[in-house]
Structures are given as C-alpha cells and as structure tokens.
Chain A
Amino acid sequence: MKIGVVTFPGSLDDVDAQRAVRLAGAEPVALWHGDHDLKGVDAVILPGGFSYGDYLRCGAIARFAPVMTEVVEGANKGMPVLGICNGFQILCESHLLPGALIRNDHRTFVCRDQELVVENAGTAWTRAYEQGQQITVPLKNGEGGFVADAETLDRLEGEGRVVVRYVGANPNGSLRDIAGVTNERGNVVGLMPHPEHAVEDLCGPGTDGLGFFASAVQALAAV
C-alpha cells in the first residue's frame, strides 16, 4: 500500500508526513510537484509549508503545478487525498474542497497544541476515529481562517462535511470553528491542524494524529 507525499518548492512538512505514513503501516512515496506522475500510489498527501512562498495567495500557484493535474483526476475518481495546512489551502484553490483560507483574524501566527473534535468519522482519513472523539494535534498557521458563504457553510453542516472542529477558543477566526472539511464523496479531506506532528510520544503532544494515516490504510485495505 503506497501513499504519496507531494513536495512543492517551499513545502516544510513533507518528511514528517512520510514518517507518519510509515508509522501507520503504509509505504511513503515521495512525489515531485513538477512531474506528471503519481508513481502508482493509492493515496496522496499534500503537506504543510509555504509552497511557492505563498505568493499571490496561499496555494494559488501550487494549484497549477504539473502533478496537480493527476491529483485532481485521481481525487475525482475516488482516490483518498489529504491536504494538511498549506495542502488544505491548495485543495481549496483547486476547488476540490469548498471555501478558502484567509489571514488569521488576530493577524498573528498561531502555534500551539490544539484540541479538536472529530465530527465526521466516516471519511477515508478519519474512519479510525470515533464519532465525536476529541484529539489534540499541533496547529501552526498565519492564514488559517476558514471562510465560505453562509449557504455553503449550511450545506457543509447539513451534509456532515465538517470533519474536525476547533474545541475551546477559536484560534484563527475560522467561521463556525471549522478546522477541516471533506468533499461529497468523503475521499478528499483538508484541515489546518497538523496530525503528522502528533504520531509519536517522543515529539509533540501525543499520538492522536496517527488516526488520519491509519484511516487511509484501513480505507485502502477495504477497497
């Protein structure tokens, strides 16, 4: 079982994501933004960082990277795709997920261990969790405010497509405390917090993040 992790110019957390994939029991495969090639992987992770220096808008230029043609094609066919932080921004810019991420309302970078509640434990990336489970993973962003129009937000809530929500004080101004969402099919998930930084007891706040990667392994095994 192979899970690809795309490296863009300016990606930071690609190696951590590869490590999380390995700890979850799958084989991580490094993918390059400039290649029209997914190297036969079964799922793809777009990692955190500052692709293309966040120029223009976060994720706006990465969206048009060569590899994204194949990622979008795969996602539309049901391949599991996870976007973490900058990856989430790229998925929104690619229109694989609704909404957009804007600068934090308090205008400062936030970096802390963040409590989340898993509100949809049915997606390809959250099925290893219990519905309503509370988890703690690191959050670090400057432009993490999730916004969409009221109609879109209502639809996301109504269809159970809010995957994770912030617990406690809202860290970045995200509307309705939304930390992550999924597409209609449940194979594409994006979130601002970083589960790949919570996969080992030695570093980070614990191992609560491992479930995202274990979920994909479960989902792929079930196919």
Chain B
Amino acid sequence: MARVIVDVMPKPEILDPQGKAVHGALPRLGFTGVTDVRQGKRFELEVAQADEATLAEVERIAGTLLSNPVIEDYTVRVEVDA
C-alpha cells in the first residue's frame, strides 16, 4: 500500500475569502507575524502501488475532479513512510 497526496490550492490571482477570514482572525488572537493566509485542500489517496501508471491516473483524477483548473492548481506527491 502507498499513499499519494494531492494538494489543491486556489490560483494566486484568485481571491481566497476563506484564507482572508483566517488571516483576519490571527491578530485578534495575538498572532501578528503572519502576512497572508491561503486556504486549500489536501486529499490522501490510498493506492496499491505508487507506480508510474497509478501516478498518471492520480494526475488525471486531480485535474478532472479534485481541482478546477480555472481557479485552482494542484500538486501530486507520494508520501514516504517515516
């Protein structure tokens, strides 16, 4: 078994109201060192084998369902056990 991680983030030029809300809450809690927050999504896909064919399939999954290319970017990586 292996785990493939897909991270989906709003494109830099797209407004991220949720990230802004989180950022706005930080000073109220006394955290003043953060200049910006962007909020995205993390998907953990369990696969039998993280081989080339499987990763190619995960790329297609990430590009068609997990992200909307109009507003989001994604990255795919294999999680290595510690």
List chain A positions with a Cβ less than 8 A from chain B: 56-57, 60, 64, 92-93, 98-100, 102-107, 145, 147-149, 173
Contacts and interface: CB of A to CB of B under 8 A. Distances in A.
Contacts of B20: 107
A173 B68 CA distance: 19
A149 B68 CA distance: 13
A33 B10 CA distance: 29
Interface string B1-44: 00000000010011101101100000000000000000000000
A60 B70 contact: no
B68 A103 contact: no
Given A93-B68, A100-B68, A105 B15 contact: yes
A154 to B, nearest CB: 15
A56 B70 contact: no
Contacts of B15: 102, 105, 145, 147, 173
A100 B18 CA distance: 16
A173 B15 CA distance: 9
A47 B18 CA distance: 26
Nearest to B13: A149
Size bin of chain B's contact surface: 10 to 19
Given A56-B66, A60-B65, A64-B65, A100 B17 contact: no
A208 B81 CA distance: 61
A103 B18 contact: yes
Interface of B: 10, 13-15, 17-18, 20-21, 65-66, 68, 70-71
Contacts of A98: 70
B65 A107 contact: no
A100 B65 contact: no
B14 A102 contact: yes
Contacts of A93: 68
A117 B70 CA distance: 26
A99 B17 contact: no
A57 to B, nearest CB: 6
A145 to B, nearest CB: 7
Contacts of A100: 68, 70-71
A104 B65 contact: no
Contacts of B65: 56, 60, 64
Nearest to A99: B70
Nearest to B24: A107
A102 B71 contact: yes
B4 to A, nearest CB: 17
A57 B21 contact: no
B68 A60 contact: yes
B25 to A, nearest CB: 12
